Amino acid sequence: MTLVTSRRGFLAGAAVVGGAALAPVSWPAPALARPGLIAKPTPPEWFIDHGSNAEMLWGSVDRASYLTPQSRLFVRNHTKTPTIAAGDYALRVFGDGLATARPEADALSLTLRDLQRLPRHRLTSVLECTGNGRRYYAAQQGETVSGTPWGLGAVGTVRWEGVRLRDVLRAVGLSRDAVSIQAAGLDDPYVNGGVDHGRVRRPFPVAKALDDALLAWGMNGEDLLPDHGYPLRLVLPGWVGIGSIKWLGTLEVSRSELTSPWNTQWYRMTGPQWPADAPALTVNPVRSAWELADDAVLPARPVTLTGRSWSGAGRISQVSVSLDDGASWRPAVLDRRSRQDAGWTQWSVLWGRPRPGTHHLLARATDELGRTQPLRAAVNSQGYFFDAVVRQPVVVA
């Protein structure tokens, strides 16, 4: 079948009966699967509980598994995971950046089946929260910042399945003057400090939409779990996690720059060190993690240690490690086969003679653009982009 756009709707010639899909949709209030903010089990062996957020424990990562299983992936919820039935679901698209401008009340409505008629696309990418590593601002730099005190576990690499946003935009008709797209979620409005900020939403440039943005219904060969955006989420590979809006409800396509508190107030560098008009954060920095628990105890015999490094901008070209708290450095062995699309790189190092005592292990990656990890991260009030080399404690006994 062909996708036809008309003034009346997205699939004027398609198997959408009775014009039902063309009518503006009103949303039933999402119900909770069960009391709680996260639906999937988050046992303490796998996760650190941060309330509505759950952090993956690096010590629990299976070194044989390149991809992060959905069951192990971190969760970052501004409110709580909604329950949305796929059968009731539709994505609504509107705005003056469409070839034919449409107000929100007359949005195009796309069901999952509509979207699944477009060419399917699979893509592996890192998903990472902007605040990943935040607790090290205090722990390593003695700086007080606000926000969830993530260690390095607000990250994962998954294989997405869905449709390219550019194919969707082509099908619905995009104006040549469109510059900005705002994605909004169907989760509850975010209320903080008595202020209702509305639905979680964040704009991004049309250029990103036409490059590698994906509308995903699948992860690692399964349907998305409710916590990760079921039935459909946006994926902006390499960009700050907030860009990858879960439970995607609307896309506003505009000829002018769109804004929301999620790019004007949050997910920007703020604080005395930063100009008031510092731009919104987009591409993730370079970071590295050891596959070790913070209370890891190793026997005093040769051991192969492993870790992963990633960058929002490209491949990792080099990883240097220090097993003596920075006194000496050596290259880690990169597993060249492990890197896929925009995913992370696995690496390893043989520790030949671990001596009894407490040690600090350091890993510092460089990406193909020459971006590397500093020894000190640039402090900012909200604790974003902690990309400095982390001191990983380990006890040899």
Residues that bind Mo ion (CB under 5 A): 76, 129, 241-242
Side by side, which strands form the sheet with 53-56?
47-50, 53-56, 75-76
Q: Does 77 participate in binding ligand MTE (rule CB under 6 A)?
A: yes
Give the whole-angstrom CA distance, residue 322 versus residue 384: 25
CB 127, min distance to Mo ion, A: 9
CB 296, min distance to ligand MTE, A: 25
CB 14, min distance to ligand MTE, A: 28
Which DSSP string corresponds to 178-218?
--EEEEEESSPP-EETTEE--S-EEEEEHHHHHHT-EEEEE
Indicate the residue whose CB is closest to ligand MTE.
Answer: 185
Q: Looking at beta carbons only, is 97 or 156 nearer to ligand MTE?
A: 156
47, 58, 66, 74: residue in contact with ligand MTE (rule CB under 6 A): 74
40, 50, 72, 76: residue in contact with ligand MTE (rule CB under 6 A): 76
Q: Looking at beta carbons only, is 97 or 241 nearer to ligand MTE?
A: 241
Cα distances from 255 to residues 78, 106, 132, 183, in angstroms, run 28, 18, 33, 15
Q: Looking at beta carbons only, is 76 or 246 nearer to Mo ion?
A: 76
Q: Looking at beta carbons only, is 208 or 359 nearer to ligand MTE?
A: 208
Please report, for the chain, how many H helices and E strands are present, in that order: 5, 24
Size of the site for ligand MTE (CB under 6 A): 19
Give the whole-angstrom CA distance, residue 135 versus residue 112: 39
For residue 279, count CB atoms less than 10 angstroms from its CB and return exposed for 0-12, middle for 13-18, buried for 19 or more.
exposed
CB 1, min distance to ligand MTE, A: 31
Under 8 Å between Cβ of 357 and 258: no
Burial 185-222 (b: 16+ CB within 10 A, else e): bbbbebeeeeeebebbbbbbebebbbebbbbbbbbbee
Mask 205-244, x = binds ligand MTE (CB under 6 A)? -----------------------xx-----------xx-x
Give the closest residue to 383 by CA, choosing from 186, 163, 130. Answer: 130
* Contact partner at residue 228 from Mo ion, ligand MTE, none, CB < 5 to 8 Å by partner kind: ligand MTE
Beta bridge partners, 357, equal: 396
200, 236, 251, 394: residue in contact with ligand MTE (rule CB under 6 A): 200
245, 289, 334, 389: residue in contact with ligand MTE (rule CB under 6 A): 245
Which DSSP string corresponds to 259-321?
--HHHHTSSB--STTS-TTPPBP-B--EEEEES--TT-EE-SS-EEEEEEEEESSS-EEEEEE
According to DSSP H, which parts of the chain are helical? 112-115, 135-141, 165-172, 206-211, 261-264
Q: Looking at beta carbons only, is 216 or 396 nearer to ligand MTE?
A: 216
CB 154, min distance to Mo ion, A: 7
95, 133, 162, 185: residue in contact with ligand MTE (rule CB under 6 A): 185
CB 244, min distance to ligand MTE, A: 5
CB 40, min distance to ligand MTE, A: 10
CB 179, min distance to ligand MTE, A: 22
Say whether the peptide bond before residue 231 is cis (omega within 30 degrees of 0). Answer: yes
Q: How many CB atoms lie within 10 A of CB 20?
A: 11
Q: Does 287 participate in binding ligand MTE (rule CB under 6 A)?
A: no
Give the closest residue to 284 by CA, choosing from 305, 262, 313. Answer: 313
Give the whole-angstrom CA distance, residue 352 versus residue 367: 27
Give the whole-angstrom CA distance, residue 270 versus residue 277: 9
Indicate the residue whose CB is closest to Mo ion.
Answer: 129
56, 91, 129, 232: residue in contact with ligand MTE (rule CB under 6 A): 129
CB 298, min distance to Mo ion, A: 32
Q: Looking at beta carbons only, is 10 or 310 nearer to Mo ion?
A: 310
Q: Which listed range, 42-50, 69-77, 293-301, 324-332, lies at the site for ligand MTE (CB under 6 A)?
A: 69-77
Q: Does 281 participate in binding ligand MTE (rule CB under 6 A)?
A: no
Q: Looking at beta carbons only, is 56 or 169 nearer to ligand MTE?
A: 56
Residues that bind ligand MTE (CB under 6 A): 73-78, 127, 129, 185, 187, 200, 228-229, 241-242, 244-247
